[in-house]
Amino acid sequence: MAKYVVSNGSPLDDVSSASSSYDDGSAENGVWGGERGSESRLYVLNRGGTGEVHYLLLTPDRSDILMYRTHIEVWKPLVDIMNFGVVVVDNFLYIVGGFDKSRAQHLNRVLRYDPAEGLWVECAPMMIARAKCGICAQGGRIYVSGGEKSDSRVTGSCEVYDIQTDTWCKAGMLVAARANHVCAVYNNEIYCAGGYHGNKTHDNLWVYEEHTWRELDEHYPHTLPCSLDRFTIATLNNTFYFIGGVTSRVDRKCPDKPDYSTQRRIFSFTTNISLSDGTIRDDVISPWEFHLPNMNHARHSHGTATIGKKLFVVGGSCLETGQPVNVCEFYNTETGEWEEDFRFRKGDMSNVVCAILEVPRIPVNERKMTNRLKWVLW
């Protein structure tokens, strides 16, 4: 049975506390009107334990950023929680697992945020506490795979959450244990790419079919062109874009100490190729595109969001400099070029994840008051 998460017994503390906002310039599309209704927001959630959340307004059709006035909030349920999973289903934001650094404990906690009411709900917990896991949603279910367990070991176990029944069940095992990997969905297929295990990164690309994880093709398995972890996948139509991340190279002289480097690279994988006559021939044309231009900034642990025909890349860190990357850039899939867009001047952007939500144009405190009045009248 789900229950409301209440801080200090006050419903007003459930969602967040707004701290400030700042303006990084105006977007090309002008300013937002003042009428009531809803607005699309690009949220950037910190996964380092600060609880900070930035958001910007998008155009109504979600094709571009409308205003660069960046708002900052602190979401109390995320304070001290690191490396949690994030997925959006039917405009509900789910926060899954993570590591509580204040208690040095991995979590099996699952929270659902309702932007319409500004309330958090605690859902049924996962069967296994984990952080740095892969997460995606398909067909009214949330799939969680791998990650780091309470004993700090990397696991290959998977489980699936049924949103309607608020229950978890096992969902098989990955082909091998992985953490910091990425899961993505196209149609009814779930893919798992890359990840970390055994003191190195990996180049795997697996698919979940008939309740079993397997190589993408038993006769001709596909792999990434390089091993990766802490990267992201942006999806547009039937194409996956693999962006940034960390790769490892084993030195023959010191095999126990691999050399890690941060990537600027982007490449893509198309799930099927259609010929001019409409037929699909995966064996004729390669689904991979390795010659896309590099990002301007090498980064890992960043967030990505597909907005219109652009792939926005936000935040992250660089191993070589040891510094966060505060510049947001985007790849225009129509022109095939990268462009720097804006810079975050406040907050910790070193480990973030993005989510797009539709939110009422009513302040959170007014939404909560409206919600309480509904209960009183009812």
Alpha carbon distance 125, 233 (integer Å): 26
Alpha carbon distance 68, 24 (integer Å): 5
Give mean pLDDT, residues 356-377: 65
Alpha carbon distance 368, 365 (integer Å): 5
User: Which contiguous run of DSSP H or E holds residue 203?
Assistant: strand 200-209
Alpha carbon distance 180, 145 (integer Å): 10
Taking the chain, what is the end-to-end CA distance rounded to the nearest angstrom?
Answer: 22
CA distances to 112, 159, 170, 238 from 5, rounded to whole Å, are 10, 24, 26, 38
Tokens of 169: 């069940």
- Domains along the chain with CATH numbers: 3-17+38-377 (2.120.10.80)
135 contacts 142 by C-beta, under 8 angstroms: yes
CA distances to 26, 68, 94, 216, 240 from 145, rounded to whole Å, are 40, 35, 15, 17, 19
Could you report the per-residue pLDDT of 7-28, keeping only the tens digit for each?
333 233 444 445 567 666 655 4
Give mean pLDDT, residues 341-367: 89
**pLDDT for res 24:** 64
Closest by CA position to 88, among listed 34, 41, 54: 41
Could you report the per-residue pLDDT of 24-74, keeping only the tens digit for each?
665 544 444 444 589 999 999 999 999 999 999 999 999 999 999 999 999
Handedness of CA 171, 175, 181, 187 (dihedral sign): negative
Alpha carbon distance 52, 97 (integer Å): 17
Burial class for 1, CB neighbours closer than 10 Å (0-12, 13-18, 19+): exposed
Alpha helices in the chain (DSSP H): 364-377
Beta bridge mates, 90: none
109 contacts 125 by C-beta, under 8 angstroms: yes
Give the pairing of strands 337-343 and 352-360: unpaired
Backbone angles phi, psi at 12, to 5 degrees: -70, -15
Mean pLDDT, rounded, of the chain: 87
**pLDDT for res 222:** 87
Closest by CA position to 89, among listed 355, 370, 373, 362: 355
DSSP string for 138-170: ETTEEEEEEEE-TTS-EEEEEEEEETTTTEEEE
Count other Cβ atoms within 10 Å, centred on residue 48: 20
**pLDDT for res 34:** 41
Give mean pLDDT, residues 352-372: 76
Give mean pLDDT, residues 345-359: 96
